[in-house]
């Protein structure tokens, strides 16, 4: 058993409104895709293609956004976009603004990012990353005839541990969580760790070759992973708030 991870080299820069599916399929034709491949796509290019780019010059911050911008010494117009994309503020102080996004992902700044966005613009998460992943997967299957999975990723900080890792925010054709309940260990005991965050393992692995800086490689192929196919959602990776002792 072997897993290989490689980027689509020289992937074109995606601009707002571009037909990402067509561009992606042209690039995928340059590598030999095989059934079972998982395609990990940085959400920024999906968001851009879906016009989830906000021109800050057209954003009027609320008084609350002005207040937070003042508190954190940040652009209140960016704060305004963060608040609009959130459903709840989870933690806020003079350094951090951690929200639950409208999808339920808990992350810094609702996932709003300035990196890799041109001019005075910011990029949000896609409106429905699972739907985006499904649409991309359907196009790949119909164009290339390969049964692949698609994961849309973002880079999240983490409670308790330093440093960022890539996580799955949209999935298609892969169950984000592998359920090993009932399986036995070497000595016949029930396994204790039974729900494995497979999609987050895949995105973290993709992070090993996904450049974040100017050499950006936003599309990564992960090959050889065992996974199960379902219609599950990446939001299944969000912990139930009632049982999360750290929320």
Q: Which is nearer to a second copy, 41 or 167 (CB)?
A: 167
Residue 237 C-beta: closest distance to a second copy, Å: 5
Binding of residue 243 to a second copy (CB under 8 A): yes
Task: Tally Cβ neighbours within 10 Å of residue 190.
Answer: 11
Can you tell me the distance from the alpha carbon of 142 to that of 63, in angstroms, rounded to the nearest whole number? 49
Query: By CB under 8 A, how many residues form the interface with a second copy?
Result: 74
Radius of gyration of the chain (CA): 19
Three-state secondary-structure class, residue 99: strand
Residue 207 C-beta: closest distance to a second copy, Å: 5
Binding of residue 94 to a second copy (CB under 8 A): no
Three-state secondary-structure class, residue 132: helix
Residue 153 C-beta: closest distance to a second copy, Å: 12
Considering only residues 189 to 228 of the shown chain, the ones binding a second copy according to CB under 8 A are: 189, 191-193, 195-198, 200-202, 204-205, 207-209, 212-214, 216, 222, 225
Binding of residue 247 to a second copy (CB under 8 A): yes
Binding of residue 183 to a second copy (CB under 8 A): yes
Question: By C-alpha distance, which of 48, 51, 12 is closest to 30?
Answer: 12
Q: Which is nearer to a second copy, 59 or 234 (CB)?
A: 234
The pairing of beta strand 106-108 with beta strand 195-196: unpaired
Q: Which residue among 24, 46, 65, 117 contacts a second copy (CB under 8 A)?
A: 117
189 is written with which tokens?
A: 């005991």
Q: Which is nearer to a second copy, 21 or 178 (CB)?
A: 178
Can you tell me the distance from the alpha carbon of 46 to that of 32, in angstroms, rounded to the nearest whole number? 23
Binding of residue 187 to a second copy (CB under 8 A): yes
Can you tell me the distance from the alpha carbon of 216 to that of 218, in angstroms, rounded to the nearest whole number? 6
Binding of residue 73 to a second copy (CB under 8 A): no
């Amino acid at each position: 058993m072997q897993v290989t991870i490689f980027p689509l080299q020289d992937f074109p820069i995606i601009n707002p409104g571009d037909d990402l599916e067509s561009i992606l399929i042209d690039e995928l034709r340059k590598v030999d895709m095989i059934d079972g491949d998982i395609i990990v796509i940085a959400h920024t290019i999906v968001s851009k293609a879906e016009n989830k780019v906000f021109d800050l010059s057209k954003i009027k911050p609320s008084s609350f956004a002005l207040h937070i911008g003042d508190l954190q010494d940040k652009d209140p117009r960016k704060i305004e976009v963060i608040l609009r994309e959130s459903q709840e503020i989870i933690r806020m102080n003079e350094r951090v603004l951690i929200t639950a996004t409208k999808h339920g992902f808990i992350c810094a700044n609702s996932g709003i990012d300035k990196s890799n966005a041109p001019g005075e613009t910011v990029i949000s998460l896609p409106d429905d990353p699972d739907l985006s992943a499904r649409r991309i997967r359907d196009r790949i299957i119909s164009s290339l005839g390969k049964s692949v999975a698609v994961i849309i990723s973002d880079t999240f900080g983490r409670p308790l541990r330093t440093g960022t890792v890539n996580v799955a925010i949209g999935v298609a054709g892969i169950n984000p969580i592998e359920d090993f309940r009932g399986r036995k260990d070497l000595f016949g005991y029930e396994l204790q760790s039974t729900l494995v965050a497979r999609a987050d393992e895949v995105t973290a692995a993709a992070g090993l070759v996904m450049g974040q800086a100017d050499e950006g490689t936003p599309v990564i192929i992960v090959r050889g992973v065992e996974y199960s196919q379902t219609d599950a959602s990446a939001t299944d990776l969000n912990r139930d708030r009632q049982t999360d002792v750290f929320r």
